[in-house]
Amino acid sequence: MVQEIGGAASQARTIAQSFAQKAYRQIQKTDKDGDGKVSREEFEGREQAFDLLDINGDDTITAADFKQAFTPESTDDGAVGQLEKLLQRFVEARDEDSDGYLSLEEFGGDEEEFIRLDTDEDGRLSARELAEDLAPATEFTAAQIQKLLAGFDRQDDGSSDAAARIEERVRKQFQQLVAVRDTDGNGRLSAEELGEAGDLLEVMDTDENGELDAEEMTRFFLDAVGGESSGVRWADFRALLKLLAQPEESDSSPGAHFDTRA
């Protein structure tokens, strides 16, 4: 069994690395000034593709961006490590005693769920435990989560301008999600288009029109990781992150939603 898992992981790495090499060669062709980077002006693909590949948010695409976008081991701890950084914010938004963990009361979920998540059985939940719960349900999330984190880590100086930039980066992620799933082209997602995440309508549909748009998902996400409301349930936030990590139900292969056509 272990050998089978190892073989599958090795095959996934090979596929990801091959895709990255081919895509990077395409990018090299568009580097018109030869500086080793591709600017938004030089990029000849779709704007959404540029935003996806620009991992660190500096408005250029480099070899490092490609490595992070398509190689699961591009970070020290892969998806779990990146998710832990993000979910630390989820914890901090609810951590009333500032001990770095969530008690059952702070967690706000049911006791059975709390016990399931508390894998070390110490009576509290860490960001690591939440990340380990979420990571198996997602694929190729490390680069996407790192992209969301870049908005916080590089711009989180407390100013209103920084907050606006963070919000815009998050909004772009959900605009891409809507674009992928919006089969009727109305700019919103119905319960049918949300698929398994259809229950999110009940908690996120603030205008009560029976559909979700990128703005509603953006507000929910930002509230979950430190907004004014700390009442976002783990189950709902988990469902939203899973949806963001796997935007396409029909094709979840590595890089499937990265359009790198030049």
Q: Residue 24 in contact with residue 63, Cβ under 8 Å?
A: yes
Tell me the average pLDDT across 205-227: 91
Tell me the average pLDDT across 160-188: 85
Residue 156, phi-psi category: left (phi > 0), alpha (psi -120 to 50), beta (remainder): beta
Higher pLDDT, 75 or 217: 217
Tell me the average pLDDT across 13-41: 67
Q: Residue 243's pLDDT band (boundaries 50, 70, 90)?
A: confident
Q: Is the pLDDT confidence value at 252 over 80? A: no
Q: Is the pLDDT confidence value at 246 over 80? A: no
Q: Which range of residues forms the domain containing residue 210?
A: 1-262
Take residue 241 and report the two structure tokens written for it.
């992150």
Tell me the average pLDDT across 138-148: 61
Tell me the average pLDDT across 105-118: 91
Tell me the average pLDDT across 139-155: 59
Tell me the average pLDDT across 215-226: 89
Q: What is the model's pTM?
A: 0.65
pLDDT of 27: 64
Higher pLDDT, 72 or 172: 172
Q: How far is CA 150 from CA 51, 73, 230, in A?
A: 12, 18, 22
Mean pLDDT for the chain overall: 75
Q: How many domains does the chain have?
A: 1
CA angle 93, 233, 113 (to 5 degrees): 110
Q: Which residues pair with 212 in a beta bridge?
A: 189
Q: Residue 105's pLDDT band (boundaries 50, 70, 90)?
A: very high
